[in-house]
Structure 1
Amino acid sequence: MTTATTTPAAPLALAAEFPPATEAQWRAAVDAVLKGKPFDKVLVGRTADGIPVQPLYPRKEGAAPLAGRAPGIPWTIAQRADHPDPAAANAQALEDLSGGASGLVVVTRGAIGDRRGDAMVIDGLADLDALLAGVMLDLIPLRVDAGTSAGHVAAILAAKAERDGLDPKSLTIAFGIDPIGAFARRGTLESWNGTAAKASDAVLALRARGFAGTQLLADGRVIHDAGGSEAQELAYVLGTAVQYWRMLEAAGLPLGEAARALSVVLSVDADQFLSAAKIRAMRRLWARLETACGLAPSHLDLHAETAWRMVTKVDPAVNWLRTTTAVFAAGIGGADHVVVEPWTAAIGLPDGFARRVARNTQLILIEESNLHRVADAAAGSGGIEALTDELCRRAWALFQDWEGAGGIVAALSSGTVQAAVAGVRAERATAIARRRAPLTGASEFPNVREAVPEVLTPPKRETRRGAAPIELPEAAGGERFEAQVRAFAGGAIRSALSRLKSDTIFVDPLAPARLAEPFEALRAELDALAAAGTRPKVFLAVIGPVAAFTARATFARNLFEAGGFDAPIPEPFPDAAALTAAFRASGAAIACLCSTDELYSAEATDVAKALKAAGARQLWLAGRPGDLEQGLKAAGIDGFIQAGGDVLEVLRTARGAL
């Protein structure tokens, strides 16, 4: 019997019919188009850390894939369990898990992930039982996001596992104990020594019980939520990790075990390449940190969440695109677990549809796009490799600066970290106000007639108090935590184990803020006026034919509607008298002239005078006035709107004319 053999087909050379091009030829073609404009200013972008982003990168030769998520294994599709009612949260969780989710994140009141302040309260074992009824904890990864309550929730989980006969080694739980993150978010701390003793006590007890997973968390979201840069987020995570390693070493845990006690959470946003590079940079930095400490590099349990600061209340459907891009970045970057903020999260408590979209965003990228099947898909990509290298370099340098200041807790206590984040946040706020960093649906292409999607009404549920206090031993080698486990197993609630805070350190908190909030605040004011009667209008005084005014009229409409005004573009007017009559009929208090520079020179002065005489309380002109400025102001023009101008200032000024 013989077998046929075939010769493999030659690779298909798609560019074989085109002559090879060099970078020099490309640059010459670009310079011809730029016509003398500076290449670096026009085509080279900058990240918040000042990293240049070139328009063209060669492939990075010899690049090897980073060791991250196991090749071919999907990341965990994690869903938030955050409904204030544990029973309702359980129904949502079961629906999520039956609908394709493969992990859960329990978010409690006051946690870093509780930006709206309406997450659940877990007071005792009954609440946790209600939340996790029917959930097979030995089949899914679970992460706890509980802020200052993380130690108590960990003890309740330990009591539940023991009572239910679950083998701790069979459970994959990231307990999320993160007192540094809680300090950064709240701005208060009793003392580092006392806090560290309690955290170490819990870690030692959980590890003695044999729980798989991690006990501590280094959470970069607190930096990202507050407006920090990518390098700042990475440096903060490194500093937090080192502080925890020192803490556990002092408590008697070997350094190698201390390193394996930590998980990391990073935010990913709509900057696809930068987010992917940040995930990759975290793995490289973690390996470098372990090597610097004399440890062999090990796997880092890396969680990614779509960024809170990027989502919008207005035109929230755009959040579908933002989160899809962010998940793509997390997936190719190599995250182990990914959480998607539902698209209506900024509006209120997401309903079942929003939660389904959140998990399906990931399911489609895994099941249909097979995004997980390539190990480190970005390896060798010139642009992402360059961003990864620069993020590593800058984050490591900043981490060393904060270490030199005494460590991350000392840097937070002195306000050093907060000042650095505030500087980046202020620069970004300026770029957003001037629309150099556009927010689709908020600052650009708004829709003032959009329908607001439905969200759930959260039930009011407060922490139960009044229980008789239970005395606990001092934190040491796990004794305090074990006493908490016994108390919760016996039916105790958190208030019986909590004591009045005796904080001694007070600093500026790293509070979360979404990028679109300034625009949304203006929109909300005018939306309220619209709900009470008529939406305030800006009359676009178009001059000349459609071809003459369309560009600037469209610019003006987008600008004013970003603040909640109604600014429709009218048909051309035959003369100034018809334009003035239309303004009177519109009922608007504000008008904006829109046309070409040539027509402004010929007609703008007369039109402005006519509009002022017709009752315009405020008059704008779209474009740069040039030599006409003084004459236009004398005719009644109050201000000029142009690309690069402060849009928020214009909108606030316009609001004052109502």
Structure 2
Amino acid sequence: MTSAERLSLAADFPAATRDQWRELVRGVLRKSGVDPDIAPDEVEAALASQTYDGFAVRPLYTADDPAPEAGFPGLPPFVRGGAPDGRVLAGWDVRQRHADPDPATTSRAILADLEHGGTSLWLVVGAGGLPGDVLADVLADVYVDLAPVTLDAGRDAVAAADTLLAVHADKGVADSEVRGNLGADPLGLRARTGEPADLDVAVEVARRAQGHPNLRAIVADALPYHEAGSSDGQELGCAIATGVAYLRALTGAGLAVDEAARRLEFRFAATADQFATIAKLRAARRLWARVTEVCGASVRSAPQHAVTSSTMMTRRDPWVNMLRTTVACFAAGVGGADAVTVLPFDSAIGLPDAFARRIARNTHSILVEESKVAGVIDPAGGSWYVERHTDELARAGWAVFTEIERAGGLVRAFDSGLVDEKIAATRTARTARFAAGEESITGVTVFPNEDEKPLNRKPAPPVPGGGLPRVRYAEPFESKLEGS
């Protein structure tokens, strides 16, 4: 077939211009009474919305909107994904979280997850989760070479890492087959609890991972900043600053930069704002690629673990949480996350029951197996909006990161109050928008069910606090409804 014979779907239609679009939208705004006197060149500004990072999301993006070249999947700057084939072959890692302190209950839940779609485990050990001395018992029936384990052990990170490695050894797993993450994150612990950050813990855990080429040792967890109310750019900036602090600690202790970079994994929040989540994950890979380039590392990318946001979850009308987490999981998959955790829809009430855990697992199954979300490499690539939003978020995150670096690094930025101050300003602005009705929470601030019968769940174990606050934006409005 010659080029002249090829079908051109738009051949019989005149090319549309931006001015034509403006005039059509202007007509709608005038007739609806929104702004009868609006001028054509004011249309886009009138419909734009401002992000908490200071740039606008406009109503229209075209090929004329500049954005840097995103490159190719699996190659720097990894905007289009950390692997050449994306997640096409096997989908993303379905990583289910377990924090019930009762060993028998957790053992049953782990086996149910792994039998019905889960592919790895995220175990909370110590404060807020399982007692450390039962970890081996809980994993007794788990094929840890097939289902990698990621730990979240807080101040007990070294002991938990030793226990997990002993479990692998007792099961006869070869060192090269040990995968997962030992989960050290003293900076995340500092953000949550206010306790001094002992970076020697990260060094000790990283040393234990040596000899296991496929085992990660450290998580640069951005969830504490998201849960405190940060913007996407602030979450990115704090995550990159965390990663850099760990690189400094590990190389300062004698590890080669490639060895240090190979042990890191990043954790980000996925929200119901699907485009912001997609852009955030793409921007994060770009920023980390730049950091590792400057450090001279040949290991330029790091895995991403996306977790559906806890700040968007509600106690009232919790069934709506299924919709929120589905959109967030979709966005995480499209954004190229390597592992995704969907929090059960009742997680804001207490410890999830078996039905809620099943729904969380099935969310992955529907998106991967039925909707084939993972069947396309970087499905958002080429979208003028996504490419521009990725670039703007990357710039916002880099600005936060460099401000932290100028303050002397993340530890000093904590101590000076810089991190808390910046996030508090965003949290206040966001809360004000909810209170003013400019943003809404379905089932709480809009369409509340006054006759709703509350769900009852087993209380979750207390989580250490004292550092950055943990917020759920629905909480104050739920309290008003329950008190009315």
Q: Same fold (TM over 0.5)?
A: yes
The SS at the match of 2:399 is helix
> How do residues 104-119 of structure 1 correspond to structure 2 at under 5 angstroms?
104-110=121-127, 117=128, 119=129
- Pairwise CA RMSD: 2.3
Change (3 A) 1:509 1:101: same
Change (3 A) 1:252 1:436: same
In the alignment, residue 199 of structure 1 is paired with which amino acid?
A: A
How far apart are 1:299 and its partner, in Å? 3.1
State the alpha-carbon separation in 1 of the partners of residues 95 and 108 from structure 2: 16
Match of residue 586 from structure 1: none
Match of residue 57 from structure 1: 61
Match of residue 323 from structure 2: 321
Match of residue 36 from structure 1: 37
- CA deviation profile, 1:31-62 (whole Å, cap 9, x unmatched): 23333345355310111112210111114796
- CA deviation profile, 1:72-106 (whole Å, cap 9, x unmatched): 13100111122211121010111111111111110
User: Does residue 1:97 correspond to 2:114, yes or no?
Assistant: yes
User: Does residue 1:24 correspond to 2:41, yes or no?
Assistant: no
State the alpha-carbon separation in 2 of the partners of residues 442 and 14 from structure 1: 45
How far apart are 1:454 and its partner, in Å? 4.8
Match of residue 304 from structure 2: 302
Change (3 A) 1:10 1:295: farther
Match of residue 251 from structure 2: 249
The SS at the match of 1:424 is helix
User: Does residue 1:48 correspond to 2:64, yes or no?
Assistant: no
Cα contact 1:121–1:461 (8 A) shared by 2: no
Cα contact 2:267–2:305 (8 A) shared by 1: yes
> How do residues 525-544 of structure 1 correspond to structure 2 at under 5 angstroms?
525-526=483-484
How far apart are 1:176 and its partner, in Å? 1.0
Match of residue 474 from structure 2: 516
How far apart are 1:164 and its partner, in Å? 2.9
Cα contact 1:51–1:387 (8 A) shared by 2: no
- CA deviation profile, 1:436-484 (whole Å, cap 9, x unmatched): 01111111111112233353466x899xxxxxxxxxxxxxxxxxxxxxx
State the alpha-carbon separation in 1 of the partners of residues 4 and 372 from structure 2: 26
- CA deviation profile, 1:261-297 (whole Å, cap 9, x unmatched): 1110000100000000000001111111111112235
The SS at the match of 2:215 is strand
Unaligned runs of 5+ in 2: 30-35, 73-79
Match of residue 173 from structure 2: 166
Change (3 A) 1:12 1:516: farther
User: Which has the larger displacement, 366-375 or 81-90?
Assistant: 81-90
Match of residue 85 from structure 1: 102
State the alpha-carbon separation in 2 of the partners of residues 108 and 511 from structure 1: 21
The SS at the match of 1:137 is coil
- CA deviation profile, 1:523-552 (whole Å, cap 9, x unmatched): 2223xxxxxxxxxxxxxxxxxxxxxxxxxx
User: Does residue 1:262 correspond to 2:220, yes or no?
Assistant: no
Change (3 A) 1:388 1:519: same
The structure, 1 or 2, with the larger RCO (C-alpha pairs under 8 Å, 6+ apart) is 2
Cα contact 2:182–2:216 (8 A) shared by 1: yes
The SS at the match of 2:291 is helix
State the alpha-carbon separation in 1 of the partners of residues 7 and 466 from structure 2: 60
- CA deviation profile, 1:307-366 (whole Å, cap 9, x unmatched): 000011111111111101101110010000000010010011111110000010011000
> How do residues 330-369 of structure 1 correspond to structure 2 at under 5 angstroms?
330-369=332-371
Change (3 A) 1:79 1:524: same
The SS at the match of 1:212 is coil
In the alignment, residue 24 of structure 1 is paired with which amino acid?
A: D
State the alpha-carbon separation in 1 of the partners of residues 257 and 82 from structure 2: 21
How far apart are 1:12 and its partner, in Å? 5.7
How far apart are 1:7 and its partner, in Å? 9.6
Q: Aligned residues: percent identity?
A: 40
User: Does residue 1:287 correspond to 2:285, yes or no?
Assistant: no
Cα contact 2:144–2:168 (8 A) shared by 1: no
User: Does residue 1:147 correspond to 2:142, yes or no?
Assistant: no
> What is the TM-score normalised by the length of structure 2?
0.90
Match of residue 569 from structure 1: none
> What is the TM-score normalised by the length of structure 1?
0.67
Match of residue 138 from structure 1: 145
Cα contact 2:158–2:204 (8 A) shared by 1: no
State the alpha-carbon separation in 2 of the partners of residues 202 and 438 from structure 1: 43
Cα contact 1:46–1:52 (8 A) shared by 2: yes
The SS at the match of 1:439 is coil
User: Does residue 1:196 correspond to 2:191, yes or no?
Assistant: no
State the alpha-carbon separation in 2 of the partners of residues 285 and 259 from structure 1: 14
In the alignment, residue 51 of structure 1 is paired with which amino acid?
A: F
Cα contact 2:93–2:119 (8 A) shared by 1: yes
State the alpha-carbon separation in 2 of the partners of residues 357 and 148 from structure 1: 32
State the alpha-carbon separation in 1 of the partners of residues 95 and 5 from structure 2: 43
The SS at the match of 1:232 is helix
The SS at the match of 1:188 is coil
* Number of residue pairs matched by the alignment: 461
Cα contact 2:81–2:282 (8 A) shared by 1: no
Change (3 A) 1:340 1:383: same
Unaligned runs of 5+ in 1: 1-5, 111-116, 463-506, 527-658
State the alpha-carbon separation in 1 of the partners of residues 244 and 253 from structure 2: 14
The SS at the match of 1:402 is helix
> How do residues 173-252 of structure 1 correspond to structure 2 at under 5 angstroms?
173-189=180-196, 195-207=198-210, 209-210=211-212, 212-252=214-254
- CA deviation profile, 1:376-426 (whole Å, cap 9, x unmatched): 111111111111101111111211111011001110111100000000000
How far apart are 1:109 and its partner, in Å? 4.5
Change (3 A) 1:11 1:306: farther
